[in-house]
Structure 1
């Protein structure tokens, strides 16, 4: 969940690291810190709170050096505080580290080291790494890192500096992302590409238990036996501008507005003889007796939408599982099961665990990810890349929309390969999908109605979302978006379940958001709308088949007509905008909602 960056080179490391931390703050913002190694030894600045607090501290107490590490924290062990902030330095002031992950056996290591007289100052699991490395250090930092890593249980991405070897910056990872960037003026470690994109687009992706030794002039890679490894750099095609706000007040709004491009590019990657299309065509779908889709948060919600599409078109049973539950439920899967894993980052800890459990049981795995070189992308049997580009806001928008269209394309192609669709039917469905970018673009030109309506909604303590069939599936995402960034309690319900308990929560001036894009079920959902209005609720009614007229308690937002299977890609736009403008009117920090981080890389 945390963000780390390190630099060694010809330029002052401090502004480079601070700028990188700004671009990683979506990974955690409980505290931030920086450690610079120079002729004075380690100079460390750490501060609880947002990165601006650390910047102010460094203005008051300037530091300078040509090698350093930085960290922005999402707290797991130990409350947010200056002491618990990273970097951590061993008690001998010989080794400094930054850490993303969780050390599961830290208590045992800490007790052992304390018995040897080593004093700990923080509540974190991460300090154990610095103290243990100092304890093991014998004059060779690479050997020390190997020995330390072998003693750790859990997950980690580490940046390590040693005072006795001031010309080296060491990196190692296990089950957490870490990249190495190379530039003319120096070399970098980072949790994610945006942190270093201003300086270089040439990166190496570390595999688990690979060690990178960075100097000012180059990078060398080793395995845990200290044997050299040859690695090829990847060229990042994202532009620097794609990781900037571009004049928008928040990244979330910028990313909402970028959805036509993200959807179009993802569609083209399949239909225009792109790499994704080749991957899909190479898969023998006829061998599978069922599909299992798994993910967390919004990725799970995309899977719920996909269940309706796959079962309607392919006539194959589909199970949708929360990745955090899948790994513990003794799933019934075998080599005739296709497990589809969805993750924006490709580093979601629970989804990685679900993937490995599926592979252990013999299932075929296919991932839908947005980040090349990520753990899930590398380990699944088949990988499809969404073309959303970097997504900075914690609450996903464009990556979710790209996941949806990839799932549609997958379902249609599978249905044709299974003999459930003719070539002509496939073409018609692809044509509907291909119309989505233009329809989304038109919707984004007319946001005034939802923006204005959102201004009246900031005082609600609870908001309910209802829909039927696939409209219920996308209601789940609308509810999640609202609670993520507005801090208003919300729940999504299948419309038919109202009278089975939920309607007891409806009272005067409750807000209900209803979705209606399934024309065959319009009368059913409209009946639900009437029921909640009769009990005092106000209703925001979103859809493309609404026959009712607006009223004092009924606001209607019409969206373009499309095949109901693909309608979630349109209704979700209104749901995203609604959540965004409610949160904006409350004056909240939309890109960095409290207690949340972008990529959940720890359990």
Structure 2
């Protein structure tokens, strides 16, 4: 999500800032900007869309000689992707860039408005630069003012700030969002969201820890935490840019599995407050006029949609049905303006889904897009959009896009239930507690990953896989099977566990591998009976459950969760890692599976 770069030194600032941001494009963005402070004056440039637009704006700008510079790629959270909302943001004498969410920005903004401060953007970030300048005026010291400013901010942030009052300094702070600083042999200081922009420039780096902040003044770096000075723990920087983008993981898919905890946190940021779901994107929707929901999607997004259908009916108490977009387009569907039409797409360019959306709009249905790419075709077409904030997903087989789609739809089901007054207050509080716990659930346990890697060697042959589950775990079974077939090229099917006896159980033998999703919180005894039926037919059983299962040939123990969606997301992790490790053992290119494209823009 987003990207930050910063520089202190004598070289051309423009080149490092633009090139550094290009190295961070993979994180996803919808606007970008830079600011350079040289000879006591700050020059800034901002542009929406691709970095090439910003590059064109700065092509005649030169900034050689000593100075400081900051650059940022933004993914919109508060406010639309406009130049006014793009970073850097400025006050009277300072500029700031920021990744993350300032959760208490509204309270800070209200106080600043009372002081007569004028705001130029809709963002949460702008409050920080105005608060800093207010503190400078009150304290007369930029360093104390920055320290006081950071102490006032609640939430997640990586911040760089420059000011005319201290023209050779970059102020920085980090909490729950990545930020590192580096030094070159020539005494230059660099900042970045990841290693990649610094390779070939900085020889060593410090990976900042949460709640650390400080300032870099030429070659002198001060690092603090809770007012106490910290040691600078410099580490050598790796020398391969692709490896840097992968953060040391073997494949982008593996990296994306591991970063699901972080991106789901991004999905939730700013959308839950005081036991309420806040979706500003839907402030214009009148849910009293909506009596049903229809969801249309393809592939992995279709599985997220199926998962959502259980949540909408269980939590929102509203009828919900799900359609495969390529089928929906040609079935002459009956479309009702009282039905909310939701489309889901990672890329926002999925051809079948886009055409289904156009059909719904033509019929007069209210439309909503759940998407990962702002300004994509689907986003531009729909009446409203909720962005999933997964960042760019390089692995063709979707992982973090699926996780953020399901979380977004879960949020939406609670929002709809509240809007229609069909959701009990205590249930809402319980669901929100469970939602906020999901980023912790998605932290990969290294020992568990190693166990999956070791047992994967038993699943490289046979005549196929059945992934089975019930209720919301049925679409998860479909998704687990899809992940395996996409990257391993082995045959796999997802099936409702209760349907096995109606035909598919005829395939059961020792060469049929059954991956059984057995949550404790949902229909455990029913699942147990279904799995026992397969075991009796000699199917090889891999059981994923918090409860030991005596008949299992292999068993992956999950944590005990109080909510079924905690089990859902942990089991999702297990199936993703299983597909990954089987495919790696088979020698496949996990990131680029044969015959598949990341964005399917044809029928």
User: Which TM-score bucket, shorter chain as reference?
Assistant: 0.5 to 0.7
Give the CA deviation at 1:275: 11
Task: State the distance in 2 between where 1:417 and 1:185 align.
Answer: 45
Residue in 1 that maps onto 2:569: 569
Give the CA deviation at 1:599: 0.7
Structure-2 change in CA distance of 1:181 and 1:406 (3 Å): same
Whether contact under 8 Å (1:288, 1:338) holds in the other structure is: yes
Residue in 2 that maps onto 1:432: 434
Tell me, yes or no, if structure 1 residue 586 matches structure 2 residue 586. Answer: yes
Residue in 1 that maps onto 2:348: 346
Give the CA deviation at 1:565: 4.7
Whether contact under 8 Å (1:513, 1:541) holds in the other structure is: yes
Task: State the distance in 2 between where 1:334 and 1:461 align.
Answer: 44
Whether contact under 8 Å (1:291, 1:319) holds in the other structure is: yes
Task: State the distance in 2 between where 1:443 and 1:385 align.
Answer: 28
Give the CA deviation at 1:381: 0.9
Residue in 2 that maps onto 1:500: 502
Residue in 2 that maps onto 1:111: none
Partner secondary structure for residue 393 of structure 1 = coil
Residue in 2 that maps onto 1:182: 53
Deviations 1:264-297 (Å, cap 9, x if unpaired)?
1111241159996212454322211210111110
Structure-2 change in CA distance of 1:277 and 1:531 (3 Å): same
Partner secondary structure for residue 265 of structure 1 = helix
Whether contact under 8 Å (1:443, 1:559) holds in the other structure is: no
Superposed counterparts of 1:281-296, under 5 Å: 281-296=283-298
Whether contact under 8 Å (2:548, 2:557) holds in the other structure is: no
Give the CA deviation at 1:367: 0.8
Task: State the distance in 1 between where 2:445 and 2:283 align.
Answer: 33
Give the CA deviation at 1:424: 3.1
Deviations 1:60-101 (Å, cap 9, x if unpaired)?
xxxxxxxxxxxxxxxxxxxxxxxxxxxxxxxxxxxxxxxxxx
Residue in 2 that maps onto 1:146: none
Partner secondary structure for residue 341 of structure 2 = strand
Task: State the distance in 2 between where 1:330 and 1:22 align.
Answer: 44
Partner secondary structure for residue 442 of structure 2 = helix
Match 2:525 to one of 523, 526, 531:
523
Match 1:325 to one of 324, 327, 333:
327
Partner secondary structure for residue 390 of structure 1 = coil
Task: State the distance in 2 between where 1:469 and 1:433 align.
Answer: 19
Partner secondary structure for residue 271 of structure 2 = helix
Task: State the distance in 1 between where 2:259 and 2:593 align.
Answer: 21
Whether contact under 8 Å (1:203, 1:233) holds in the other structure is: no
Task: State the distance in 2 between where 1:235 and 1:390 align.
Answer: 19
Deviations 1:35-68 (Å, cap 9, x if unpaired)?
xxxxxxxxxxxxxxxxxxxxxxxxxxxxxxxxxx
Residue in 2 that maps onto 1:255: 256
Task: State the distance in 2 between where 1:594 and 1:311 align.
Answer: 38
Superposed counterparts of 1:483-498, under 5 Å: 483-498=485-500
Task: State the distance in 1 between where 2:302 and 2:85 align.
Answer: 29
Whether contact under 8 Å (2:532, 2:551) holds in the other structure is: no
Give the CA deviation at 1:371: 1.1
Task: State the distance in 2 between where 1:246 and 1:370 align.
Answer: 22
Residue in 1 that maps onto 2:225: none
Structure-2 change in CA distance of 1:185 and 1:275 (3 Å): farther
Task: State the distance in 2 between where 1:268 and 1:576 align.
Answer: 25
Give the CA deviation at 1:324: 1.3
Deviations 1:486-505 (Å, cap 9, x if unpaired)?
00000111111111110111
Structure-2 change in CA distance of 1:509 and 1:398 (3 Å): same
Alpha-carbon RMSD: 3.3
Whether contact under 8 Å (1:345, 1:369) holds in the other structure is: yes
Partner secondary structure for residue 249 of structure 1 = coil
Superposed counterparts of 1:397-416, under 5 Å: 397-416=399-418
Give the CA deviation at 1:461: 3.5
Partner secondary structure for residue 331 of structure 2 = coil
Give the CA deviation at 1:389: 1.1
Task: State the distance in 1 between where 2:372 and 2:494 align.
Answer: 27
Residue in 2 that maps onto 1:144: none
Residue in 1 that maps onto 2:265: 264
Residues paired across the two proteins, number: 398
Give the CA deviation at 1:235: 4.8
Residue in 2 that maps onto 1:37: none
Partner secondary structure for residue 523 of structure 2 = helix
Give the CA deviation at 1:562: 3.7
Deviations 1:300-351 (Å, cap 9, x if unpaired)?
0000111111111122111101111122222222210101111111111111
Superposed counterparts of 1:303-314, under 5 Å: 303-314=305-316
Residue in 1 that maps onto 2:177: none
Unaligned runs of 5+ in 1: 1-15, 25-177, 189-198, 205-230
Task: State the distance in 2 between where 1:203 and 1:263 align.
Answer: 17
Task: State the distance in 1 between where 2:439 and 2:565 align.
Answer: 16
Task: State the distance in 1 between where 2:58 and 2:463 align.
Answer: 49
Partner secondary structure for residue 310 of structure 1 = helix
Task: State the distance in 1 between where 2:425 and 2:24 align.
Answer: 49
Structure-2 change in CA distance of 1:23 and 1:260 (3 Å): closer
Task: State the distance in 1 between where 2:268 and 2:446 align.
Answer: 19
Task: State the distance in 1 between where 2:25 and 2:461 align.
Answer: 32
Residue in 1 that maps onto 2:458: 456
Superposed counterparts of 1:71-150, under 5 Å: none
**Higher relative contact order (CA closer than 8 Å, sequence separation 6+):** 1
Task: State the distance in 1 between where 2:289 and 2:255 align.
Answer: 42
Whether contact under 8 Å (1:471, 1:518) holds in the other structure is: no
Task: State the distance in 1 between where 2:195 and 2:559 align.
Answer: 31
Partner secondary structure for residue 330 of structure 2 = coil
Superposed counterparts of 1:348-387, under 5 Å: 348-387=350-389
Structure-2 change in CA distance of 1:349 and 1:572 (3 Å): same
Task: State the distance in 2 between where 1:486 and 1:528 align.
Answer: 26
Task: State the distance in 2 between where 1:318 and 1:462 align.
Answer: 32
Give the CA deviation at 1:550: 6.1
Provide TM-score, normalisation by structure 2.
0.60
Superposed counterparts of 1:6-25, under 5 Å: none
Residue in 2 that maps onto 1:136: none
Whether contact under 8 Å (2:466, 2:514) holds in the other structure is: yes
Task: State the distance in 2 between where 1:278 and 1:22 align.
Answer: 28
Partner secondary structure for residue 549 of structure 1 = coil
Partner secondary structure for residue 181 of structure 1 = helix
Unaligned runs of 5+ in 2: 1-17, 27-48, 60-69, 76-81, 88-97, 100-192, 197-241
Whether contact under 8 Å (1:408, 1:566) holds in the other structure is: no
